[in-house]
A and B are shown apart, each in its own frame.
Chain A
């Protein structure tokens, strides 16, 4: 799957994000290192407040300011062989945290895209799904036939009637379909990395499975790398290649999914595992 396993797509080094006062900061992210390789699904696991979402937002310098401050570390995006037109040169070994806002705009959407837990709140209720997906294409991909591209995207995320879905308003779609539309929007500029922050927490188990299956499929068909943020170790076990366990702003354990979940070393990982409700009782 990985073309250059030695060179990560994203390399995060000693990232720290503080909230609150400078004198007594809340260290939401406290010196975190992690890597995501091309075509990999990496899970960042932890509870509410562990710093996992803030770490993910920092990848595109999206930490809400001035409440939060990125106080240290680096987020390095490697350029891929994949040519993205004239802009590609400036993405060589990109240090995200040093980018100007105009450069960040090019990074966001085109290299890294996000989907969140509650699709209904991420979608604008007064515009059609097609318009919202098209917005990114109109802004970032000049010369592309918007309507066609939108329908292509909606097809690729498994919406049965893409033309109709494009004309629908968010409230006309079910939760699962809304999340598919969000994924289509995230893919509109063909990003390398999709950050999925609790993408299925608000969904039914059966719909959750469909969305997770879709993410796995997109990794295969598009070579998409996915950073999956979740508190559900069951999802991690079924989907992720590698996992980072986060607690109180620090990564306490990491490794390939099987190793971490079957032979957890850190107490916090063990505690998380114990909390997962099991379908079948094993003595």
Chain B
């Protein structure tokens, strides 16, 4: 299989603390890999390392045949066009003093896409439409939107550079259940339309299950179990995966007793 992303024995350290301890994984184009674990397990550090937002202590990250950790300058910028991030807290990741249109246009401007200002504006409007927002709202500011709308804005911004990979770090954890379901549907539709690959980072296996083709379970900096979504959720092998599964407040489980 031709992998879009290959992670080999990657370690991320913060001083003495080894947050990611020799993790290997791979991701094919158009595929979703769920990365599950608790706060502090290293899943976000790994996600950030994959996007070259975190320096790796050792190991190798390869994206589309290029080694990410060695990238600098223009090549790094080129890589960033292809691999983007969606954050948990869309409000925290939007500049409150910038209209949301400007926030998207800025990305295009920095990367020299879209040509003229008018063309960039047009592109932002198209992106807005694609994520289910009214293009008229581009002149509004982040505080004028609901949590779910802000996450749509975050997704639109991440899509603006037409990446091949989206790292989504707990993108729905801060949202209401029904909004959560809408955003999950949106992410799935966008994946179908654009053939994007997702690294979907989360702590709730029920949510990760909805999204993923395969799941990797991370615990204390290491991946303790990987498999297809059904394997991991229906027949977990590792004790920690079993613990995670039993912690999910599941409706069916509650009434099965």
Contact = CB atoms under 8 A, between A and B. Distances in A.
B181 A209 contact: no
Interface string B56-76: 000000000000000000000
A47 B179 contact: yes
B249 to A, nearest CB: 4
Contacts of A274: 181
Contact of B205 (A175, A205, A233, A271): A205
A127 B207 CA distance: 37
B39 A235 contact: no
Interface string A173-213: 01100000000000000000000000000001111110010
A275 B250 contact: no
A104 interface: no
B253 interface: yes
Contacts of A212: 249
Contact of B255 (A47, A209, A258, A278): A258
B176 A231 contact: yes
Given A278-B206, A279-B209, A280-B234, A234 B245 contact: no
Interface band, chain A: 20 to 34
Interface in B6-24: none
B244 interface: yes
Given A48-B146, A175-B39, A275-B181, A234 B203 contact: no
Contact of A276 (B38, B177, B179, B255): B177
Contacts of A233: 177, 251
24 contacts: A47-B177, A47-B179, A48-B146, A48-B147, A48-B176, A205-B203, A205-B205, A207-B38, A212-B249, A231-B178, A232-B249, A233-B177, A237-B249, A237-B250, A237-B255, A272-B178, A274-B181, A275-B178, A277-B181, A277-B204, A277-B209, A279-B205, A279-B250, A279-B253
Given A277-B204, A279-B205, 13 more contacts: A204-B39, A205-B244, A205-B247, A207-B39, A209-B249, A232-B177, A237-B250, A274-B181, A275-B178, A276-B251, A277-B206, A279-B233, A279-B253
